[in-house]
Chains A and B, each alone.
Chain A
Amino acid sequence: MTVAIDVQGVSKRFRLYHQKYTSLKERVVHGGHVPFEEFWALEDVSAEITAGQTVGILGRNGSGKSTLLKCIAGILQPTGGQVVVRGQLAAMLELGAGFQPELSGRDNIYLNGSLLGLSTKEIDRRFDEIVAFAELEQFIDNQVKYYSSGMYVRLGFSVAVSVEPDVLLVDEVLAVGDERFQQKCMDRIQQFQRDGRTIVVVSHSPDLMRDICDTVLVLDRGRKVTMAPAGEAIRIFRERLIESGFAAAPAAPADEAEQVGGAAPVEITTRRRVVELLSASASYARQDERNYIETGEPIDFRVDFDVSTPVSGVQFKITLLNERGGIVFSSTSSGAVSGMPLDVGRGCATFIFDSMVLLDGRFSVTVEARDPGGVVLDILDPGCDFEVMNPGRAVGIVGLPMRVEVLPPGSGELPRAAATAR
């Protein structure tokens, strides 16, 4: 396989000026000395991207991913090292960059197209297609300043993808337009993939990466962390985030949750605490060496409680919440377990999940104890939390078990479709 993009030890230094002196007077006054701090946005990053691959660059804000993309695009020159790009390159860093509001859509297609490296002949040939893709047939001769932001962005995307580059660079621009147009954009990206073009995508979103990328390059503070298949790279990315304390806030890691969770029970004032929930914790395999589980692995949540008056019919309720506080799952103990009489003293209840089918994310666990009438006796909110990493390619909320069977034409009698299908 040939290498489409060869990033050879690229470093990029930025100078952060404490104060920007852009006039001669200011520079003279400060003796030609402008105080600045050096900041390496990229440090010795190397990567080989094979032709036809779709590669994601993943990293949190300030990790240098956009800088790397701009170096590949040739917008920034690296301070050290070099990038060799084979074939025609188009960069979608900002849709509609360089549109002239005073000019018509038609003029802007020609101007923007040639800015992106298309020849006039090529633009002539693709003009109708560009207009049709942007759905602007009626307005193409109107001045762009009268366009809505949606129209503007659609035209920008349409011109950008018409370049038909060998190498396409995309910087988080896919989140534009309405849902339908977004789908159209994704389709076009997938079309590019099938055509065997090389694509480099920069994004914050691990889900997008997992969806479209073969390989993901993870950057952290300007350094390459890893370049690996998407699932693994995303896992490493999440681990990095947790290590550097970004994703961990505000919830504490699972192994510390016992103290944290136990220390902050919600005050139940209406009745004396018959059952007091003391703490909740998660347990799973290899807990001492990692702080996450992979999708599909078993996990248990244990809640310790203290009974001060003998009681029966206590129900335990568990609720799993996502990072935005949305309920992912909630269920109450029932049947034999809930009917059990509880004597005075300490006990524990364990919620056992044989297979945690949730995909990526950090989830918090809330535990409640209720009397048979449904009145809350005590609550731990949050009780503990846990993290799931998804090693596969599925995207969404849950990893439903699924397999696909395809019968190619000519493989004999097709099974009858379900009766409801026409």
Chain B
Amino acid sequence: MAMASEAGVSAPADARLGELPPAPSGDSPRPASRDLPYRVVSSKVRLTVRVREIWESRELFVFLVRKELKVKYKSSVLGLLWSMLNPAVVLMVYYVVFKYVLKNPTPDFALYLFSGLLVWNLFSTVLPGSSSTIVANAGIVKKVAFPREILPLSQVGTGVVFLFFQMVVMALFLLGFQYSPDWAYMPIALFALVDLVVLTAAFAIFLSAVNVYYRDVEHLVAVLLQAWFWGIPVVYNYNLVYNELVKLHAFRWLMDIYLVDPITPLVLAFQRAFYGHVVVSVPHQGRYQVLAGYSAGFYVEMLAGVLVAGVLLLLGAMRVFGRIEGNFAEEL
């Protein structure tokens, strides 16, 4: 009888063990620990390791981009259409103002505007969003370990997706107006696109990190972008500025500043490819130079220069990011 009662004590414990669900994936035996990859957590992480970790998190990047796209226009009737309506309205306003109020003589002005805006829209929508992205995602930054660069990068990714939507609109535009772009310059436009993504990523990573310490950054970015927009030849012609600046011998440095702007060559390349007219003849005004008369070779040179600068900026941004990332979780 004593025996039976003791068996009774042990029975529930055993039964509970027996009823446990099997491990979710019993398909692979556990590997010996020494074969497992290992990871070092310390204040000094090498750049190559960081890059590798970002690459390994590419699926997370895709999900985050998808999340951005889904969340941004969730519960709105027009949904993703908004991503095209917004630039379309901007385009329309500029078109009306510059074509009819300010009498810009450029033919097919809408197309000229659109080409430049493609570049600018990516840059100017990604930067404010990525400046605040680490702060906005404080919840996961404080609780989950993943390469934090993924957050600003996913903002860049989202911007690129929107850029493609706008390019589709551009294509429809070209078809609608029976307008043929300069196909020979398409590879150059593609090169410019690569530059644009690298450059935007560099700015995005840098700003997102600094904004954790100085929340002014996101406001500063909004203000600077306003000014920056007028520093690139999107609504006016590059040649106008060029001709004026060349006259100002005493102010050559103004010219330098204007030309060193890495966005300008990208805008020029897009305009050259999609708009295409370098020199047009306008009724009553004769021949009129719209675009810079640079050769394809010079475009490539400019874009290569921007790429080098962009990659250097990107590495610098990642260095800065890596140095202050360790304190994100406590600063937020």
Contact = CB atoms under 8 A, between A and B. Distances in A.
Please say whether chains A and B are actual partners in one complex.
yes
Interface of A: 2, 4, 14, 22-25, 27, 51, 70-89, 91, 93-94, 97-98, 100, 102-103, 107, 110-111, 114-117, 119-120, 125-126, 129, 161-162, 164, 166, 187, 190-191, 195-197, 402-407, 415-418, 421
Given A74-B41, A97-B143, A405-B6, 17 more contacts: A79-B43, A81-B42, A83-B41, A87-B37, A91-B143, A93-B144, A98-B137, A98-B139, A100-B71, A103-B70, A111-B63, A162-B24, A164-B23, A190-B20, A195-B30, A406-B14, A418-B4
B6 to A, nearest CB: 5
Interface in B22-48: 23-25, 30, 32-34, 36-43, 45
B74 interface: yes
A84 B40 CA distance: 4
Contact of A14 (B4, B9, B330): B330
Nearest to A23: B216
Contact of A404 (B6, B16, B30, B36): B6
Given A71-B41, A81-B42, A415-B3, A22 B33 contact: no
Contacts of B39: 74, 84-85, 89
A280 to B, nearest CB: 37
Given A75-B329, A415-B4, A85 B214 contact: no
B67 A111 contact: yes
Interface of B: 1, 3-10, 13-14, 16, 20-21, 23-25, 30, 32-34, 36-43, 45, 57, 59-60, 63-64, 66-67, 70-71, 74-75, 137, 139-146, 213-216, 220, 325-327, 329-330
Contacts of A88: 36-37
A4 B36 CA distance: 10
A119 B59 contact: yes
Contacts of A421: 8
Contacts of B67: 100, 103, 107, 111
B59 A114 contact: yes
Given A76-B329, A86-B33, A164-B24, A418 B5 contact: yes
A407 B7 contact: yes
A94 B329 CA distance: 14
A157 B236 CA distance: 56
Contacts of B327: 77
A402 B10 CA distance: 10
B140 A416 contact: no
Contacts of A162: 24
27 contacts: A2-B34, A71-B41, A74-B41, A76-B326, A77-B41, A77-B45, A77-B325, A81-B42, A82-B41, A83-B40, A85-B39, A85-B40, A86-B34, A86-B38, A91-B145, A97-B143, A98-B139, A103-B71, A107-B70, A114-B59, A120-B59, A126-B24, A195-B30, A197-B30, A406-B14, A418-B1, A421-B8
Contacts of A120: 59
Nearest to A77: B326
A129 B10 CA distance: 31
B4 A98 contact: no
A120 to B, nearest CB: 5
Nearest to B28: A164
A403 B329 contact: no
A257 B8 CA distance: 44
B63 A75 contact: no
A187 B41 contact: no
Contacts of B326: 76-77
B9 A73 contact: no
Contacts of A75: 141-145, 329
Choose among A51, A75, A80, A91 the residue with the greatest number of B CB atoms under 10 Å from its CB.
A75
A303 to B, nearest CB: 38
Given A77-B325, A196-B30, A191 B6 contact: no
Nearest to A22: B215
B20 A187 contact: yes
Nearest to A50: B33
Nearest to A12: B330
Closest 3 CB pairs of A and B: A77-B326, A82-B42, A87-B36
A162 B141 CA distance: 21
Given A115-B146, A407-B7, A110 B63 contact: yes
Contact of A405 (B10, B30, B57): B10
Contact of A82 (B24, B33, B40, B214): B40
A85 B41 contact: yes
Given A115-B60, A190-B20, A404-B9, A78 B42 contact: yes
A102 B144 contact: no
Given A74-B41, A82-B40, A115-B60, A24 B144 contact: no
B216 A24 contact: yes
Contacts of A87: 33, 36-38
A403 B6 contact: yes
B41 A86 contact: no
A224 B1 CA distance: 50
Contacts of B139: 94, 97-98
A97 B332 CA distance: 15
A407 B8 CA distance: 12
Contacts of A24: 214, 216, 220
A27 B214 contact: yes
Given A22-B215, A75-B144, A406-B10, A166 B43 contact: no
Contacts of B38: 84-87
A79 B9 CA distance: 51
Contacts of A76: 326, 329-330
Nearest to B213: A22
Contacts of B330: 14, 76
A416 B8 CA distance: 11
A79 B42 CA distance: 8
Nearest to B10: A404
Nearest to B330: A14
Given A22-B214, A76-B330, A91 B144 contact: yes
Given A4-B33, A107-B67, A195 B59 contact: no
Contacts of A83: 40-42
Given A83-B42, A103-B67, A415 B20 contact: no
Q: Which of B6, B45, B145 is most buried by chain A, counting CB atoms within 10 A of its CB?
A: B145
A74 B145 CA distance: 6
B215 to A, nearest CB: 5
A111 B64 contact: yes
Nearest to A71: B41
